[in-house]
Chain A
Amino acid sequence: MRTLDWNSEMRLPTFVRAHIQYILIPFALGLFLLLWETIIIVNRFPAFILPTPREVAHSFGANWQSGIFPRHLAITLFEIGLGFSIAFTFATSVGYLLAKSPLLEKIVSPYLIATQAIPIVAIAPLIIIWINTGSVQNALIAALITFFPMLVNTIIGVRSVREEYRALMRSYAANRWQVFAKLEVPAALPIFLGGVRVGITLAVIGVIVVELMWADRGLGFLINFAQGHLDTPLLFATVAALSAMAIGLYLTVVFIEKIILRWRRSVQ
């Protein structure tokens, strides 16, 4: 005879409980799409005001097959990748130098802060005049807003190393490279990687804004194009593709971050 266990009666199977998010997330998404479709049917909105999810999906499918989406997506991804790489290289190298030299930081930081205080739309035209090479110029403008959180977190990360740890390395007569590789880098990593997460989202924003305002290619341009032609389903499809790309990039960074932090623990 089974004894009556109220808890076990109420409990879902273990497998379902362990993977509940994989059931609830699509469920919530489905509910959202259903609600969206219902609102349009009830209110009879025309497609150029608010398209139904099915119209958006259709527009996406058609533009993907015709090669329009893949082409613009590739351009945008390339610009994000380039802009992020430029920002990353600058932020880590300059950030490390500034972290090591408070004097240099005092001298240079007003200019670095100024680049953040001036709106990107005010600096961008100047860069476009100077560079004027399509993708490279867009990547540079994006890099301008992307580098800052990574720079700041590099500085904070390196400065977070307590003086006693440095004294310890000194007592071992460790050289500069050893202090860098065995103390500063692993100690600064968690804070630094926090900056990288913010950086990748800003790189997406930067590239899209530039493409929206000035470019003739990329997802940002496609949004602009769709708006000009009152092709609201295409507009929605582009924004959806953009969101999916941004989420994908963010999750990629989080994934790489996990690998790096695991590596930090295993390899010395």
Chain B
Amino acid sequence: MDHHSLIEIEAVSKHYGPARDGVLALRDVSLRIRAGEFLSIIGPSGCGKSTLLKMIGDLLAPSAGRIVVNGKTPEAARRARECGIVFQTPTLMEWRSVAQNIELPLEIVGAPRAERQQRANALLDLIRLREFAARFPGELSAGMQMQVSIARALAFRPAILLMDEPFGALDEITRERLGRELLDLWTKTRVTIVFITHSVPEAVRLSDRVAVMSPRPGRIERVLAIDLPRPRSAATRDLPRYWELLREVRAALGLNEPK
């Protein structure tokens, strides 16, 4: 089961705007994402990372190519609620309490109140914010709001968690802490994570594999296996292999200074 690919992206291109003079955001992208893995996508701004994620989640249709999500078309997968999505901003509803925000997806499917509350409480325990259940998003820090946003995305028990630069707007300290929390949550739920980031250390710290994209029109430049032992901790950064991998990802991004 470990190497069964959960998401298959085959020769996908995406063109925005009119056929003649629009923007070619992605060109001929192919990628297989395995069930249960933590895969990061890294690349310069505007290379089409968000576009790729949106196509997996069926928020956008590809111009060419084929995407299969858990054996279904993206549309069928969305209707089956296979993907939970987390954006860069927490996107919480300010008129709903924290618990009610997490319950929203379950309300949409018409789950009974008792079941919703039970699930919300379990998720709040998972992110260790149970005591904030009755608070409103405006009363939470940016990091806590993001945690709630992640918990909400898990409400359906989706097979896949699509995360578009979720920690990009957070300070470095919060970012590291939420990274650790996310790994913890990933271990407990075994959800497959597709994680977009700008940060090379973050990608290396968290992932099983890192897909490096080229500038627009985006292509997958390289896919690097991050063979660092798990569970990862602060000590992971003391390993020489960690620094080697950082260098390799940076090289694939064309960031290393020429010798």
Q: A178-B108, A186-B95, A264-B95 are in contact. Are A172 and B81 (CB under 8 A)?
A: yes
CA distance A167 to B54 in the complex (A): 9
Q: A173-B78, A268-B100 are in contact. Are A168 and B107 (CB under 8 A)?
A: no
Are A164 and B91 in touch, CB under 8 angstroms? yes
Using an 8 Å CB-CB cutoff, how does the interface string of B103-120 with A read, 1 for contact, 0 for none? 011011100000000000
Are B87 and A164 in touch, CB under 8 angstroms? yes
With both chains docked as a complex, state the minimum distance between the C-beta of A179 and any C-beta of chain B, in angstroms.
10
Using an 8 Å CB-CB cutoff, how does the interface string of A140-183 with B read, 1 for contact, 0 for none? 00000000000000000000001011011111111000100011
Residues 175-198 of A at the B interface (beta carbon under 8 Å): 178, 182-183, 186-187
Are B83 and A268 in touch, CB under 8 angstroms? no
Select from chain A the residue with minimum beta-carbon distance to B106.
Answer: A172
- Cβ of A167: which chain B residues have Cβ within 8 Å of it? 54, 57, 59, 85, 87
Are A174 and B95 in touch, CB under 8 angstroms? no
- Cβ of A2: which chain B residues have Cβ within 8 Å of it? none
Q: A173-B78, A173-B79 are in contact. Are A168 and B91 (CB under 8 A)?
A: yes
Mostly helix, strand, loop or mixed at chain A's interface? helix
CA distance A264 to B104 in the complex (A): 14
Which of B83, B104, B136 makes the CB contact (< 8 A) with A265? B136
Select from chain B the residue with minimum beta-carbon distance to A173.
Answer: B79
Using an 8 Å CB-CB cutoff, how does the interface string of B70-94 with A read, 1 for contact, 0 for none? 0000000011010111010101010
Are B59 and A170 in touch, CB under 8 angstroms? yes
CA distance A235 to B59 in the complex (A): 64
Task: Give the size of the chain A interface in residues (CB under 8 angstroms).
Answer: 19
**Which one of B79, B81, B83, B87 has the greatest number of beta carbons of chain A within 10 Å?**
B87
Residues 88-117 of A at the B interface (beta carbon under 8 Å): none
Cβ of B198 < 8 Å from any Cβ of A? no
- Cβ of A174: which chain B residues have Cβ within 8 Å of it? 108
Are B91 and A171 in touch, CB under 8 angstroms? no
CA distance A264 to B100 in the complex (A): 12
Cβ of B96 < 8 Å from any Cβ of A? yes
CA distance A143 to B85 in the complex (A): 44
Select from chain B the residue with minimum beta-carbon distance to A264.
Answer: B95
- Cβ of A264: which chain B residues have Cβ within 8 Å of it? 95
Q: A186-B95, A264-B95 are in contact. Are A168 and B108 (CB under 8 A)?
A: no
CA distance A187 to B87 in the complex (A): 19
Select from chain A the residue with minimum beta-carbon distance to B110.
Answer: A178
With both chains docked as a complex, state the minimum distance between the C-beta of B88 and any C-beta of chain A, in angstroms.
9
CA distance A182 to B101 in the complex (A): 11
Interface contacts (Cβ under 8 Å), in number, total 54
Q: A164-B91, A186-B93, A186-B95 are in contact. Are A171 and B100 (CB under 8 A)?
A: no
- Cβ of A186: which chain B residues have Cβ within 8 Å of it? 93, 95
**Which one of A169, A171, A172, A174 has the greatest number of beta carbons of chain B within 10 Å?**
A171
- Cβ of B58: which chain A residues have Cβ within 8 Å of it? 170-171
Select from chain A the residue with minimum beta-carbon distance to B164.
Answer: A164
Are B107 and A182 in touch, CB under 8 angstroms? yes
With both chains docked as a complex, state the minimum distance between the C-beta of A121 and any C-beta of chain B, in angstroms.
42
Select from chain A the residue with minimum beta-carbon distance to B105.
Answer: A172
Are B107 and A171 in touch, CB under 8 angstroms? no
- Cβ of B105: which chain A residues have Cβ within 8 Å of it? 172
With both chains docked as a complex, state the minimum distance between the C-beta of A185 and any C-beta of chain B, in angstroms.
10
- Cβ of B89: which chain A residues have Cβ within 8 Å of it? 164
With both chains docked as a complex, state the minimum distance between the C-beta of A166 and any C-beta of chain B, in angstroms.
9
CA distance A173 to B136 in the complex (A): 25
CA distance A166 to B84 in the complex (A): 14
CA distance A250 to B93 in the complex (A): 29
Are B59 and A182 in touch, CB under 8 angstroms? no
- Cβ of A178: which chain B residues have Cβ within 8 Å of it? 108
Give 10 nearest A-B pairs by CB, closest first: A172-B108, A174-B108, A171-B85, A172-B105, A167-B59, A186-B95, A164-B91, A264-B95, A164-B87, A173-B79
* A residues with CB within 8 A of B: 162, 164-165, 167-174, 178, 182-183, 186-187, 264-265, 268
* B residues with CB within 8 A of A: 54, 57-59, 78-79, 81, 83-85, 87, 89, 91, 93, 95-97, 100, 104-105, 107-109, 136, 156
Q: A173-B79, A178-B108 are in contact. List 20 more A-B contacts (CB 8 A).
A: A162-B91, A167-B54, A167-B59, A167-B85, A167-B87, A168-B85, A170-B59, A171-B58, A171-B81, A171-B83, A171-B84, A171-B85, A172-B105, A172-B156, A173-B78, A173-B81, A173-B108, A182-B108, A265-B97, A265-B136
A sample of 9 cross-chain residue pairs with beta-carbon separation below 8 angstroms, ordered by A number, consists of: A162-B91, A164-B87, A164-B91, A167-B54, A168-B87, A170-B58, A170-B78, A183-B93, A265-B136
